[in-house]
A and B are shown apart, each in its own frame.
Chain A
Amino acid sequence: MPEIRALNQDGLSAFCRFLVHAAKIEPTAEPPFSLLCDGAHTSRLEGVASVDFQEFDSKYAFGSYIHEQVHGRIPVQVLRSSPGIWAWLALFYFDLLCPPGTTGRRKVLRPEKYVASADNITKGLDKHLLYFPWKLVWLHGDSAAWMLYPPLRQDTKLLRDMANSYRRNVRKEFVELARSLFFDETRRKFKRGHATGGSETPGTMRRLDRVTDQLDLTYDVFGLNAGELAGLLPTEFDRWRAARR
């Protein structure tokens, strides 16, 4: 099993060049897998952990696997703050994150899905296809499984909005509130319409973040449980609240 490393600045640049090239010019370009064990493009970590190449049937399966591999081996604060580690993993699992189609063409998403920025929150680690599942499993365990059911490579609107809500998604009660509003427990899928419309559309996940920002000014939002939080929400959430478990 290969030892997890971190892409250094040169490695990150080379990977980014490939992503831009594959997205805009040559979708059949071969990923630069040789970077993974190249000492000039990677650096060793504080701690040793290994990974195996295998299929994952959901983001949750990956989050649980990688959490098991790194837990107690690589310090959490290093995992939380090092884009190089997650870029290395994205390259290692690139065939899962961005598989070639029957013609060999890959549909490459925005670069921050594979290489996060350390200093720009709009392209930060929460936007990364692998970091965010790990973070949610690390923080919330199986309480996060409901929103991590989509395939590893899929970039879903609810997860994007949850990642944007980076001050909230660390809080178990907020995740539970989002579940009670936007997850259909019978169909085991996100409810239809939770992400329809623009940023100001009432009752969406994005609005939940903004409304919680408002509530933050008058309530200790972090100290309230999901039921108490739901009780404070304005009427725009009634259509979801009526259907709460």
Chain B
Amino acid sequence: MSKPLFFTGRKEVARSDVRIRLLNISGRVTRFEARLDLTGYRFGEDDAQVFVESYHTTYLERFAVGTLAHVNSGATISEPMPGLETGEIPLFRVKVVSASGPRRGVLLGAIDALRPEAEDVSGAAGSLLPLIPKSRDQMGNEFWKVHFNYSNEAQPELWINTDVQGLFQALQNQDPRITALILPEILRQVLLRLVEDQTEWTEDNSTLGKWLTFAKELYEEFEVWDEQDSEGSRRARREWVDNVVRAFAGTQRLVDLYHQQLEARVSEVG
């Protein structure tokens, strides 16, 4: 079996020290801008190289953005991103890499799975479930679907068929006439995939951790997976998801909200 790969003293860069913004044209990302503040980390190598990598499923681009000294001078990094399809929102990682001597190639600092701010795709930045507009070609006759973007972990996205007039805007605006109908099913699909076989409970900063933290506000933690009774454990997980979804719909009073919106609409028309 493999020998242990020893820790080399890499520092975790805080998310708050990295800001990445996407510039879009008609839903297609064309460029990103980044501002990094790495002055407080004492990496000890001013000639260390800083790299920004963007990735989305099978897409990956890598940008050498200069030395640590250059980045810490407050420069805004701006790079074109010609390789993305309409609606694709990449994640980013930032690496500070030793550039010379015996430690060449060693990571001095890094941060992964950074979700960028988006200029015209509201809902994408920092959201548990980014809304991603998709063309009719990509969606066919489906109005919406839950898509999992796999990087280091499964990141759920909600794909919206832009051929359905008003649907994307309605979801952006959280219009209860739409959200009441579909959000419980979306929540069910996301949780079923995230907590499938043998997943352990976590409330860390990962995508899974954030979703489980959200679920815990609605319902209790799920049981530990029983290796001796996989079928029973699987059934228990499905029941747990049902209970979370039921609690979500109840807390949000989705049916009442839906009725209120309809009544308001009738009043407006009247």
Contacts and interface: CB of A to CB of B under 8 A. Distances in A.
Do A and B come together as binding partners? yes
Interface of A: 6, 8-10, 43, 76-78, 80-82, 84, 118-121, 124-126, 135, 166-167, 170, 200, 202, 207, 211, 214-215, 217-220, 222-224, 228, 234-236
Interface of B: 1-3, 5-8, 10, 49, 51, 53, 55, 57-60, 62, 82-85, 88, 95, 97, 105-107, 137-138, 140-142, 145, 147-148, 150-151, 159
Given A82-B137, A126-B58, A224-B105, A218 B7 contact: yes
Given A82-B137, A124-B57, A228-B105, A218 B10 contact: yes
B95 A8 contact: no
Given A82-B137, A217-B10, A228-B105, A121 B2 contact: no
Contacts of B148: 119-121
B80 to A, nearest CB: 13
Given A124-B57, A218-B7, A218-B10, A223 B97 contact: yes
Contacts of B107: 217-220
Given A82-B137, A84-B137, A223-B105, A211 B60 contact: no
23 contacts: A9-B140, A76-B83, A80-B85, A84-B137, A118-B147, A119-B148, A121-B150, A124-B57, A124-B58, A167-B151, A211-B2, A215-B5, A218-B5, A218-B7, A218-B8, A218-B106, A218-B107, A219-B106, A219-B107, A220-B95, A222-B62, A223-B51, A223-B97
Contacts of A228: 105
Contacts of B138: 81-82, 118
A228 B148 CA distance: 34
B137 A8 contact: yes
A160 B1 CA distance: 22
A131 B140 CA distance: 21
A235 B10 contact: no
A90 to B, nearest CB: 18
Contacts of B5: 211, 214-215, 217-218, 234
A8 B140 CA distance: 7
A167 B60 contact: yes
A81 B85 contact: yes
Contacts of A167: 55, 60, 151
Which one of A135, A202, A223, A234 has the highest number of Cβ atoms from chain B below 10 Å of its Cβ? A223
Contacts of B7: 218
Interface pairs A-B: 3 shortest CB-CB: A9-B140, A220-B97, A234-B2
Contacts of A234: 2-3, 5
B51 A220 contact: yes
Given A218-B5, A220-B107, A119 B145 contact: yes
Contacts of A166: 57-58
B141 A9 contact: yes
Nearest to B96: A220
Nearest to B154: A121
Contacts of B6: 218
B233 to A, nearest CB: 22
B137 A6 contact: yes
Nearest to B142: A9
A139 B235 CA distance: 44
A69 B97 CA distance: 40
B39 to A, nearest CB: 21
Contact of B2 (A80, A118, A207, A220): A207
B60 A119 contact: no
Nearest to B148: A119
A222 B53 contact: yes
A135 to B, nearest CB: 8
B2 A77 contact: no
